[in-house]
A and B are shown apart, each in its own frame.
Chain A
Amino acid sequence: MADSDSTGDQWLEAQRRYWDAWMDMTRRGLDAATPAQKASANPWADAMEQWWKSVAPTTPKPAQDLLGQMVNLGKSYFSMAEGLGKMDPATDTTQIVENWTRMMTEAFSSASQGMNPFAAVAGKAGRQGLAFWDLPFDTVSRTMSAGMPFPGDFMKAFEVERPTDVREQMDRMLSAPALGYARESQEQHQKFTRLLFEYEQAMSEYQAGFGGLGSRSMEAFKKRLEDRAQEGGPVNSIREVFNIWVDACEEVYADYAMSDEYARRYGRMVNALMAVKHQGAQLVDEWLEAMNMPTRGDLGTVQRRLHDTRAEYQRLRVQSESMRAELDAMAGLGSEVEELRAEMAELRKQVKAMASKAAPKAETHAETKTEAAGKSATAGKGDDKPAAGETAKKAAPKRARTASTTTRKPSTTRRKTQS
């Protein structure tokens, strides 16, 4: 900080100059600002807001969300800077850190539209950050309002901070035995309301868990600033202060978020919400059933059966493909058998032909039997040799073809081995 007493005035003068220039630019380019804004407490942030309002409609949708987020952050950033300008330089470090932390936390919670869990402890605005968790509650509660035995805004009477005795009284009322024709329905509604209370309680505890982090964040922020000042001199940029603050907050948040205490609070909050959702769905199902409409339970059954059928179909498809492959292989074997049969028939034919050729010779030999028995035997073997060789030659190509068919599968393995 500058060490002059007139720092604040300088800062305001700078703001005024900037504001004039900004307004001039805005008037020329965007035709936006109104005189009332000149009296604003945060002219820079407001100017940005005004500028954004005039520009946003012309911004394409994909960019709009992102730019909106940046503008929100930018407004906070400007607010922080403005707060910085108003600080008394004579204030000690602790005070400065406190002021900064307070301003930044407020600005950040506003800029991040409450998404940050720290902001949750700030109250209503912080709850927006947990929109996801509230959304189902809100949806169910709106759906339920038409059929609840209580008015639609009944729950609004019960804030998180309500006194314990009121809660106890409500618990007792909701625990009263149901009576009469609509007994079961009444029980279901009582259960739903009890679960809502439990969820509110769990959410309240979850938010309260962040309560102690503010002071720890300040400590961490202060320490980081001092370390930074010792290592590299005082911080002289708004962005750097912002970054140091982010680091400090992340550090403190991570410590807490890693704790068993946080895990328990988080678990309780989520489980309580899920119990509400579950019970709400059951109540909705009852109405749908009464109106002869498909219920969530019905759809669940259909979905499960669809899933099982789909899984069975896939199993059978794979099985049938495997069987088809086996059949194809068997069809290959069939043709092989046919080939072998043809080969056998050919061989038989040849043997028969040889036998018929050999018969007259045998008769001649019989006639000359006594003359040259040993010679005739030798000559007979010699006649057979070429014939056998010829048969083998004819059969050879067929065998080769057969071999190539049956070794197709191992060739795949070979490929893998090569690779």
Chain B
Amino acid sequence: MAKKAVTPTRMVLNQLKVRLKTAIRGHKLLKDKRDELMRQFMDVVRKNKVLRTRVEEGLTEAFGALTVAGAVMSPEMLGQALMYPRQSVSLDMSFKNIMSVNVPQYTFSTSAADPADIYPYGFTQTSGELDKAMQSLSRVFEDMLELAQVEKTMQLLAEEIERTRRRVNALEYVMIPEMQENIKYISMKLAENENSTKVRLMKVKDMVLKEAIEERRAREGRITENLG
């Protein structure tokens, strides 16, 4: 690992220690977040799978019925019958917060309360097959709406999980080891400095002592000379 240049001082060491503590705490929190997101995600995925199959089956059925209706009636008549909707769908959206991911929640209401009101045409000139097609289409529509909600939730969660996982890994495998290494480097460097200072001091002390002793000896020598 390429080591960043750090100045081996006590101040930097203290700063690094604080940062390491924060990083470890953040790592733990993010890991928890990732695990919880994953749990929620798996629920959503399971739900999505069921819904998707149901919608695909429902739509195939509805389109099949529509094809039959198209075969029985002339295309112009079919187009005319379905041209102007009798019913309108109004959709309300709110957001739900899952582990700080905002996922949409849809609620819809139809303008026509009576389920029989879905047919936007008179019954005299249309075939019964068309009624059936419309019926299955409106039935599958509810599932489609739920599918939209679940699928969007799934996509948003997947996105967030990926991001969180990257962060967890970056902290775990890059940031934290790097900081630990730097801390080790600084404390070793500091200890080394301390040692060399100590040795230097001892050396100086030796030198001073030696000088003092020699001076003393010289003095004593002079005194004996004078006396003798």
A and B physically associate:
no
A residues adjacent to B (C-beta < 8 A): none
B residues adjacent to A (C-beta < 8 A): none
